[in-house]
Structure formats: structure tokens, C-alpha cells
Amino acid sequence: MKYKHLFGPVSSRRLGISLGVDLVPYKYCPLNCVYCEIQNTTHLVTARQEFFPPREILDELDSFLFPQPHLDYITFSGAGEPTLNSSIKEIIRYIKDKYPQYKLALLTNGTLLNNDDILQEIIPCDVILPSLDAASSEVYQRVNRPHPDLKVEDLIAGLVRLRQVYSGEIWLEVFIIQGITDTEQELALLRDAISQISPDLVQVNSLDRPGAEEWVEAADPKRLIEIRNYLRERLPMPVEIIAKIKYQTGMKSLDADLVDLIRDTIKRRPSTAEDLAAMLNIHINEISKVLRELNNEGKLYAERKPRGVFFKWIA
Ligand code: SF4
């Protein structure tokens, strides 16, 4: 079966061997983050939609899961915000009822969690990984460029509410843009917000490959360590850095064929991640993951052009 909504399984440090489930069309998102590795949001929306007949997604899951593959997680993620899909409740229920042996993870920007109905829908997930990059309105606007209806106070309130109603694991991701999200004032506000949200784990991240805006740069590793230490000393939960994580030994082989494909393609012609996804018929998140790793290993040269970021092989 050819999959339109499933991708991977990909090897992920955070989630092990993870089957991706993409519930929304490309770049439907309530945010337009300056660091987004899948570039600018083309549909900045907060209204939920079904987008696809749920049966289409369930049939793909049935086909993939029938041989009972080994997976650490089935993960709702993709090139947009999964909670925008109004059928997420039905899909989560289906997986939990029919495939209880698999753990479910949700990657979300958290913007819709201020709605109690949506919160209730995602409660069966085993782990929820929301993001919080800013705690002041000014930095939220500058970094996350939200839909005009969204406010950072509502985002924080939604995450606090999530903790109150959800007993599963919450791993909060904080993306650092040096000089903007890590000022003394912003870090103090972030610390206060995280303290209220009370996640089980805080994961500090930074850019691994070109984001939506050229001016966004990877944070200095020393600065990331300082930020991690700052948060560690002031918060009761574990805080770790997840930026520039290499593939774990034993998982790399999962992506070896894809690495070869990407290398051969961009050796012939520099391409954007979106071009590679279309040419190779592989989900943008899988392509992004490999590009991120190759970029970290210094094997790629990225050049920003009007049509996007083009990757060239230099190894
Ligand atoms: S990083 Fe995530 S939340 Fe931000 S624009 Fe990209 S897809 Fe949306």
C-alpha cells in the first residue's frame, strides 16, 4: 500500500522507533515560527477541519500495523499542527482500541489546548510533547508569529490546564534563538511559565538546519548548556538539551537507504527539502530528519534562494 498519511518509521532520540502519522495537509498551522524547518506556514489557521476522511488514515494504519511491526511509538506529527484535524479523537480511539500494544505520542505547538474539548480528545495519548518558546507577548509575536486570534497567555493557560487534566507524560520543548528567547527577562518568564505548567521533562532545542527565516541561527552549544543549567537550577523537573543529537548506534541503518537516495539526488542537482519530498515521494518530515543529520555532520551546503533553501552535497 502506498501511504499518504504515514511516514517512517524514523529513528528518534526522543521517541525511539517512531511511526509518523500526519493528520493535516502541508503547512496548515496556527503558528508561522521563524525557525520552522519546513519553511513558512502557507495556511495560518486556527479553525479545525476533517481535512481527509478518517477512514483513509485508519486504512493506512491497519495496513501498516497488520504485521505487528516493532515500534516504540506511533506519533502524531507532520508538516502542520495535528490538533487542527477534527477527527483526531476518532483516530486516537481507534488506535488505542485496536492496537493497545503501541504507545501514542503527540507533537503539538499547544495553541489549541486552551479548548477543553480538544484537551479531552488527546488525553488517551501516552506522551504529549508541546512547545513553548516564549512567555512574553513580544517574543511570541517575533518568534512564533501566531494567527492574530492567538495570545501567549492562552497558550500557557492551555498547557497548565493540560497538566491538570492529563496524567500521562508531558515533555515540553523550548526552542532557543540566541539574543531573543534567552534574554535574562525572557528566561525568567519562561521559567515561571514552565513552573506553572509542570511538565515531566523540559527539552531545550536549537536550529539544526536552515529555518523559515535566514536570520535565525543555531545557538552556541555553550549558551545552550548555560540555559539548561539555569532552568535546571530553578525547576524541579529534569531539563536536557536535544539539539544536534546524532543518530543512535543501531538505528542509523533504518535511514541508510534514504541517506543514499538523498545524497545521489542532491549530488546531481541541489534541491530543497520540499523538492526531495516530491521527487522521492517521501514525507517531508523524513527528508527533514536526514537533512538535519547530514547538515550536522557537515556534509551539506545550504543556500537560500527565493524559492527556498537548496541543499548541495559537499562531503
Ligand atoms: S515549527 Fe511547528 S508550530 Fe512552528 S510553524 Fe513549523 S509546524 Fe508550525
In tens, the pLDDT along 139-187 reads: 999 999 999 999 999 999 999 999 999 999 999 999 999 999 999 999 9
The residue out of 245, 266, 300 marking a domain boundary is 245
> Percent of the chain at pLDDT above 90?
67
The C-alpha cell 518509521 sits at: 9
Q: Tell me, yes or no, whether 181 and 42 share the same domain.
A: yes
The finding on whether 287 has its CB within 6 A of some atom of ligand 1 is no
Q: Tell me, yes or no, whether 191 and 308 share the same domain.
A: no
Question: Measured in angstroms, how far is the CA atom of residue 36 from the centroid of ligand 1?
Answer: 5
Question: Measured in angstroms, how far is the CA atom of residue 109 from the centroid of ligand 1?
Answer: 7
Q: Which of 158, 159, 155 is nearest to 139 (CA)?
A: 155
- Confidence bin at 243 (pLDDT 50/70/90): low
Q: Which of 88, 66, 69, 112 is nearest to 22 (CA)?
A: 88
Q: Tell me, yes or no, whether 309 and 206 share the same domain.
A: no
What's the burial of 19, exposed, middle or buried (CB within 10 Å: 0-12/13-18/19+)?
A: buried
Greater model confidence, 282 or 100: 100
Number of domains the chain is built from: 2
Q: For residue 295, what are the CA distances in angstroms to 23, 139, 171, 287?
A: 28, 27, 26, 12
What is the rounded CA–CA span in Å between residue 209 and residue 276? 15
The residue out of 219, 245, 271 marking a domain boundary is 245
Q: Tell me, yes or no, whether 152 and 21 share the same domain.
A: yes
Of ligand 1's listed atoms, the one at least distance from the Cα of 29 is: 8
Q: Give the closest residue (by CA) to ligand 1 atom 1.
A: 36
Q: Tell me, yes or no, whether 278 and 295 share the same domain.
A: yes
Q: Is residue 229 part of a domain?
A: yes
Q: Which pLDDT value is given to residue 231?
A: 97
What is the rounded CA–CA span in Å between residue 222 and residue 240? 13
Q: Is residue 255 part of a domain?
A: yes
Q: Tell me, yes or no, whether 236 and 252 share the same domain.
A: no
Neighbour count for residue 256 (Cβ, 10 Å)? 10
Q: Tell me, yes or no, whether 218 and 276 share the same domain.
A: no
Q: Is residue 137 part of a domain?
A: yes
Q: Which pLDDT value is given to residue 291?
A: 86
Q: Tell me, yes or no, whether 215 and 254 share the same domain.
A: no
Greater model confidence, 251 or 124: 124
Q: Is residue 1 part of a domain?
A: no
Q: Residue 299 belongs to a domain with what CATH number?
A: 1.10.10.10
Q: Are 158 and 128 contacting, i.e. CB atoms less than 8 angstroms apart?
A: no
Q: Are 151 and 194 contacting, i.e. CB atoms less than 8 angstroms apart?
A: no
Q: Tell me, yes or no, whether 280 and 141 share the same domain.
A: no
Question: Measured in angstroms, how far is the CA atom of residue 69 from the centroid of ligand 1?
Answer: 29
Q: Is residue 237 part of a domain?
A: yes
Q: Tell me, yes or no, whether 157 and 260 share the same domain.
A: no
Of ligand 1's listed atoms, the one at least distance from the Cα of 32 is: 5
What is the rounded CA–CA span in Å between residue 81 and residue 129? 12
Question: Within the chain, where are the H helices?
Answer: 54-65, 88-98, 116-122, 137-144, 152-165, 184-197, 221-234, 256-268, 273-280, 284-296
The residue out of 222, 245, 268 marking a domain boundary is 245
Greatest alpha-carbon span in the chain: 53
The finding on whether 109 has its CB within 6 A of some atom of ligand 1 is yes
Which residues span the domain enclosing 137?
6-245
Give Cβ neighbours of residue 237 (< 8 Å, ≥ 6 apart): 198, 199, 200, 201, 202
Q: Which pLDDT value is given to residue 248?
A: 43
What is the rounded CA–CA span in Å between residue 280 and residue 275? 8
The finding on whether 41 has its CB within 6 A of some atom of ligand 1 is yes
Please give the average per-residue pLDDT across 283-309, as a whole number.
84
The finding on whether 75 has its CB within 6 A of some atom of ligand 1 is no
The finding on whether 36 has its CB within 6 A of some atom of ligand 1 is yes
Q: What is the pTM of this model?
A: 0.87
Q: Residue 108 belongs to a domain with what CATH number?
A: 3.20.20.70
Element (DSSP H or E) covering residue 105: strand 104-108
Average pLDDT, the chain: 91
Please give the average per-residue pLDDT across 220-225, as a whole number.
94
Q: Tell me, yes or no, whether 73 and 144 share the same domain.
A: yes
Q: Tell me, yes or no, whether 220 and 253 share the same domain.
A: no
